[in-house]
């Protein structure tokens, strides 16, 4: 299972993959019918400010439980959904479901939604986002779209136009998985990002490697220069958290704070009953 959560390259070594995918057309068929069969759900993972320990929002993460195949990791099915085009409908379902959920919260917390390169380049993303915001009544400033750098470079001109249209709607835009692939400084400057999400592979390495720590410090320096807040992804240990605090990292997300769960598990954060003004604090102990 851990292998399925890592970078795409590890998937090659997952023995059950061949079995799961040998009938590729059946797999694509199942993906296309997953929405109407109610097989998708969203889990939510908390995000907190480091200086205050305040939970300010949640990332929505897609889960697929197919009756026959069981639970399938998004790192496995999203690339296939992208290749067969099903990601457009799926991405629309994710956006609508996540915004509708967030609109029910008593507290005006943020909700982050992952956007595929195919949605960015192929669909009518700004129109869809505008429609979903209207439909759900969610304040646009509470919606953050997470976009990976690799999805921008396919057609930089078009990507730039789409991101500016999204900014005009009042939504936030985060660069996801920074530090993987070919991160470029000029992209960070050229695109209207509101936040950098540093990939967990960089965060993980700071514990054991001086070089990785130096790379992270360089990222913080860069972000400061560009006046962009940094969220560290995949924070698992107290040592990682201490490093991030020492480097004045702005925000965190990871198993140390909370694993992705059905939103009901986070009712203490989303509901405002009787303590509307009380700040929501990060848990002292790990949620395992
Ligand atoms: P991502 O957007 O970078 O999401 C973070 C991933 O890291 C999630 O994996 C999350 O469960 C995992 N994670 C969070 N904290 C920790 C930690 O402390 N340790 C470890 N080892 N992992 C942690 P997940 O849910 O399996 O999703 C994997 C990727 O699939 C996501 O990476 C995203 O690229 C994609 N994905 C998930 N949901 C969607 C979606 O609705 N639409 C699109 N287009 N992509 C999605
Ligand atoms: Mg993400
Ligand atoms: Mg991602
Ligand atoms: Mg990420």
Please give the biggest Cα pair distance in the chain: 54
Residue with CA closest to ligand 1 atom 27: 74
Outline where DSSP puts E strands in the chain.
40-49, 55-66, 70-72, 110-114, 143-148, 172-178, 195-198, 230-232, 251-253
Residue with CA closest to ligand 1 atom 3: 177
Per-residue pLDDT of the chain (288 residues; tens, 9 = 90+): 334 444 444 444 455 555 655 688 999 999 999 999 999 999 999 999 999 999 999 999 999 999 889 999 999 999 999 999 999 999 999 999 999 999 999 999 999 999 999 999 987 999 999 999 999 999 999 999 999 988 888 888 999 999 999 999 999 999 999 988 777 777 788 899 999 999 999 999 888 889 989 999 999 999 999 999 999 999 999 999 999 999 999 999 999 999 999 999 999 999 986 454 455 666 544 443
Ligand 1 pocket test: which of 10, 74, 181 has the largest number of ligand atoms within 8 Å of its C-beta?
A: 74
Instruction: Give residue 253 CA to ligand 2 midpoint distance, Å.
Output: 10
DSSP state letters, 11-65: GGG-THHHHHHSSHHHHHHHHHHTTTTT-EEEEEEEEEETTT-BEEEEEEEEEEE
Ligand 1 pocket test: which of 101, 114, 282 has the largest number of ligand atoms within 8 Å of its C-beta?
A: 114
Instruction: Give residue 183 CA to ligand 3 midpoint distance, Å.
Output: 14
Instruction: Give residue 110 CA to ligand 2 midpoint distance, Å.
Output: 14
CA distance 285 to 242: 15
At residue 279, the pLDDT reads 54
ipTM score: 0.98
- Segment (H or E) for 268: helix 267-270
Ligand 1 pocket test: which of 2, 4, 5 has the largest number of ligand atoms within 8 Å of its C-beta?
A: 5
Of 222, 273, 267, nearest in space to 247 by CA: 222
Q: For residues 50 and 245, is the Cβ–Cβ distance under 8 A?
A: yes
Around ligand 1, the residues with Cβ closer than 6 Å are 5, 45, 61-62, 73-75, 78, 91, 94, 114, 116, 146, 176-177, 200, 233-236, 254-255, 260
What atom in ligand 1 is closest to the CA of residue 82? 44
Residue with CA closest to ligand 1 atom 21: 234
Residue with CA closest to ligand 1 atom 19: 234
Residue with CA closest to ligand 1 atom 37: 61
Residue 223 Cα distances to 66, 180, 227, 249, 279, angstroms: 41, 16, 6, 10, 27
Instruction: Give residue 111 CA to ligand 2 midpoint distance, Å.
Output: 11
């Amino acid at each position: 299972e851990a292998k399925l959560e890592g970078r795409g390259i590890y998937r090659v070594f997952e023995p059950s993959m061949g079995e799961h995918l040998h009938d590729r057309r059946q797999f694509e068929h199942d993906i296309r019918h997953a929405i109407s069969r109610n097989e998708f759900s969203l889990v939510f993972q908390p995000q907190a400010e480091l200086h205050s320990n305040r939970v300010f929002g949640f990332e929505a993460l897609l889960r697929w439980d197919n009756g026959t195949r069981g639970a399938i990791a998004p790192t496995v099915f999203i690339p296939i959904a992208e290749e067969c085009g099903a990601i457009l409908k799926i991405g629309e379902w994710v956006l609508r479901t996540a915004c509708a959920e967030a609109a029910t919260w008593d507290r005006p917390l943020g909700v982050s939604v992952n956007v595929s390169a195919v949605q960015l380049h192929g669909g009518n993303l700004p129109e869809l986002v505008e429609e979903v915001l209207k439909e759900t009544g969610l304040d646009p400033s509470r919606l953050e779209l997470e976009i990976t750098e690799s999805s921008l470079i396919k057609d930089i001109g078009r990507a730039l136009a789409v991101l500016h249209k999204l900014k005009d709607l009042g939504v936030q835009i985060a660069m996801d998985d920074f530090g993987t692939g070919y991160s470029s400084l000029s992209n960070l400057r050229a695109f209207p990002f509101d936040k950098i999400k540093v990939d967990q592979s960089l965060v993980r390495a700071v514990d054991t490697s001086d070089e990785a720590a130096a790379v992270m410090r360089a990222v913080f320096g860069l972000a400061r220069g560009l006046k962009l807040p940094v969220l560290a992804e995949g924070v698992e240990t107290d040592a990682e958290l201490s490093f991030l605090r020492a480097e004045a990292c702005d925000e965190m997300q990871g198993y140390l704070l909370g694993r992705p769960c059905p939103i009901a598990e986070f009712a203490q954060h989303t509901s405002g009953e009787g303590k509307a003004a009380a700040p929501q604090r990060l848990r002292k102990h790990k949620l395992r």
